[in-house]
A and B are shown apart, each in its own frame.
Chain A
Amino acid sequence: MKKFDIIIRFGLLVFISFLIFILNNNFARLTNLINILRQTSLLFVLGIGMTLVILTGGIDLSNGAVLALSSCIGAMVLKSNLPIVFGVLTALCIGIICGMSNGAMVSYLKIPPFIVTFAMMFIARGVVYIILRGRPIFGFGPGFRFIGAGYLFEIPVPIIFSMLFLLIFYTLLEFTAFGVNIFAIGSNVESARLVGINVKKVTVLVYMLSGLMSAFAGLLYTARLNTASPMIGTSFPLDAIAIVIIGGASLGGGEGNLIGTAIGALTITVIMNGMNLMSVSPLWQRFTVGGLILIMITIKTLTENLKLKRKTLGLSS
C-alpha cells in the first residue's frame, strides 16, 4: 500500500512534467533538468529534517530561522581568515544546538512542538537581527562557494549532497532501530514507551538532526547565493511542510518516507519552474501550489479509504 501511494505520487509528478513539456519544450532541455534537480536538492535537504520531525508527530517551524542564524554566524567566521572548515563547523554546531534545545523542551518540559519551535523561530531570527542589524554578509572564497555552486564530475555539488543524504537518512529510517523507534513514537507514544523505547532521547535526536539539516541547507544557500542574509528563509518552514505533505506523510506522525518527500520537493520545483518558463501570472502561482497540496491530500484520503474498505471486506494483503 505504501508503494502504491508512492507510485501514484510519482505518476502525478510525471504527468505534470509531461503537461509542462507539451506546453513548453524548453522544459525538457538537459540544462533545465539539471537546474530543476539543483533547486530541488536545496529544498529536499530542508525537507529531510522536517520529515523526521513530522514522523514523530512533531513539527519544526524554526528551520528557516535556524538556517539564517547558523549561516550568518558561520559566514562571520568564514570572513575572518580562519580555515573554511571552522566556518562550516560553527554553522553546523549552531544548528545542532538550536535543534537540541527544541528537542529538550519538547521531550523534557513537555511543551507542544508547535509552540517550542515557533518560539525558537523568533529567538533565532531575533538573535541574528541583533548581531547583524539586518545587514547581509557577502563575498566568499571559491573554496566555500564550491559547496553550493561547484560541480563534481559535471554534476552540481548540491545534487550530490542531497543524493548522499537521501541514501544515509533512508537507511537510517528504514533499516535501523533508530528509524523503527521514530515510526513507533509517531504512531503511538504510549505504546512506544511501554515497549521500552527511550522516547525522550529519540525525540531530542530527531530535533537535533532537523537543526543540523537546516544549518547544512543554510550553508548550501549561502554558498550558492554568495550572501548570508538574516532575512533568508522566512518561507522555508511552510515550504518544507508542503513538500512533506505532498510526499504523503501524515501530520499526525508515524506515516511518511523520504522517497515521498523527494517526490514532493521535485513536484513543487517542477511546477514553479514550469510557471516561470511560461510566465504564468504571479497571482496564480500561489493558487496553483495550494491546489496541488489539496489534490495530494485528497489522494491520501482516498487511498486510505480504499485500504479501509479492503480491510473490512477481508481482502487485506
Chain B
Amino acid sequence: MKKTLLWLLVITMCLVGVSFSPLAAAKEKMKFVFIVKGMQHPFWQRMIEGAKEAGRDLGIEIEGTAPVKPYDVEEQIRIMENAIIQQVDGIIVVPADSRGIVPGIEKANEAGILVGLSNTKAEGGEVVGWAGASNFSAAYEVAKYLIDKMGNKGNLIILEGTPGNQTATDRKAGFDAAVSESNVTVLASQTANFVYEDGLQVMENLLQQFDDIDAVIAANDPMAIGAIEAMDAAGRLAGVLVGGFNGDADAIEAIKMGRMIVTTAQVPEAQAYWAVLQVHMALKGYPVSKEIDVPTAMITAENVDQWLD
C-alpha cells in the first residue's frame, strides 16, 4: 500500500513537471503586440507580415492586430490596455492619430512595458524609438521629381488627404516645401479625402475652373487615379503630368501606360521589422537609435518594369 502511494506520488510529480515545463518555456519566449491602423488595406497587412518575419528571426511571438473600425485611435488604446493586462513584453503601435495615441503610450509607460512606434510618430509618451519613412521627405522627393519634369514652370494642382490626418499634413508639407523652391504656380490645393471617388469629383470640378493645367500631384494613388479618370473623360489628360504616393497596383499600371509619371512606395515590411528589432534590442539593454528612416522607393517610367507583378 505504501509502495503504491509512493508510485502515485512520483507519477503525479512527473505529470506536474511535464505540464509546467512548456509553460515555463512559453514564459521565456517574449511576446510583442503589433498594432496597425486597420486591416483593410494591404499596406497594413504587409506591415504585420514584416513584424512576424522579425518575430520568427528573433524568436519573439508577435500578435498582429488592428482596430475593427479602421483608423480608430480609441480602439487602438483599448488594444494597448488589453496588452498591458496580458503583461506582454513589448507593444509596437502605428498610431492612427499622433496625438490621440499618447494616453495609451503613457499607460504602458506606467506599467513598465516598452513601446515602439512604426510608420507614424506619436507626439508624447516615452517610446523606444520610431522606424518609418518620413512622409515629408518622400512627398518632397516626389514633388521635386514632378517639378523637374515640368521644367520648373507651369500650373500645378495639389490633391490633399483627409484634413487633420497626420499623414495628409506631412505629405502636404513636403509638397509645399518642394513647390516653394520652384517657379511653378499652385492653381489650387483641395482635399479629396484619400479616396478614388473624391479624387474624381474634385478634379472634375477643378477642370471647370482651370483651362491650363500642367500637372497634378496627389497625396495618395487612389486620388491620383480618380483625377486621371476625370481628365481622361474630359479629353484633357494628354500632356498633364500626374504624380501620386503609395505605389498601388493600379498606379504602377498607370505609370507603365504613361498616364502617370511618378509614385513612391514605402516598404512596410522593413518599417515593421526595424520597429520589432528596436524594441527587442532595448529589452536586451542595448542602446537604440531613436529614429530609423526607412527609405521609400520612387517608381517612375524608367524603373516601372521591376514593380510589375
Residues of A within 8 A of B (CB): 24, 26-27, 29, 31-32, 35, 38-39, 122, 125, 129, 133-136, 138-139, 149, 221, 224-227, 229-235, 272-273, 276-277, 279, 282-283, 285-286
Contact = CB atoms under 8 A, between A and B. Distances in A.
Nearest to A278: B209
Q: Determine the main DSSP class of A at the interface with B.
A: helix
B201 A125 contact: no
Interface string B187-212: 11111010111001110111111000
Nearest to A27: B208
Contacts of B276: none
A227 B191 contact: no
A234 B71 CA distance: 12
Interface of B: 39-43, 45, 68, 160, 163-164, 187-191, 193, 195-197, 200-202, 204-209, 222, 225-226, 229, 233, 248-250, 253
B229 A234 contact: no
A230 B40 contact: yes
A33 to B, nearest CB: 9
A125 B163 CA distance: 24
Given A134-B42, A224-B200, A225-B225, A231 B249 contact: no
Contact of B205 (A35, A125, A136): A35
Nearest to B188: A279
A253 to B, nearest CB: 27
Contact of A279 (B41, B189, B204): B189
B253 A32 contact: no
A232 B204 contact: no
B197 A122 contact: no
With most chain A CB atoms within 10 A of its CB, the pick from B42, B190, B193 is: B190
A276 B225 contact: no
Given A139-B253, A224-B233, A225-B225, 4 more contacts: A133-B42, A136-B249, A138-B249, A221-B197
Nearest to A39: B201
Contacts of B208: 26-27, 29, 31-32, 35, 273, 277
A286 B187 CA distance: 21
B250 A136 contact: yes
A-B complex: 8 closest residue pairs judged by Cβ atoms: A282-B191, A276-B205, A134-B42, A32-B208, A279-B188, A138-B250, A277-B209, A282-B163
A19 B226 CA distance: 29
B163 A286 contact: yes
Contact of A136 (B68, B191, B193, B248): B248
A224 B229 contact: yes
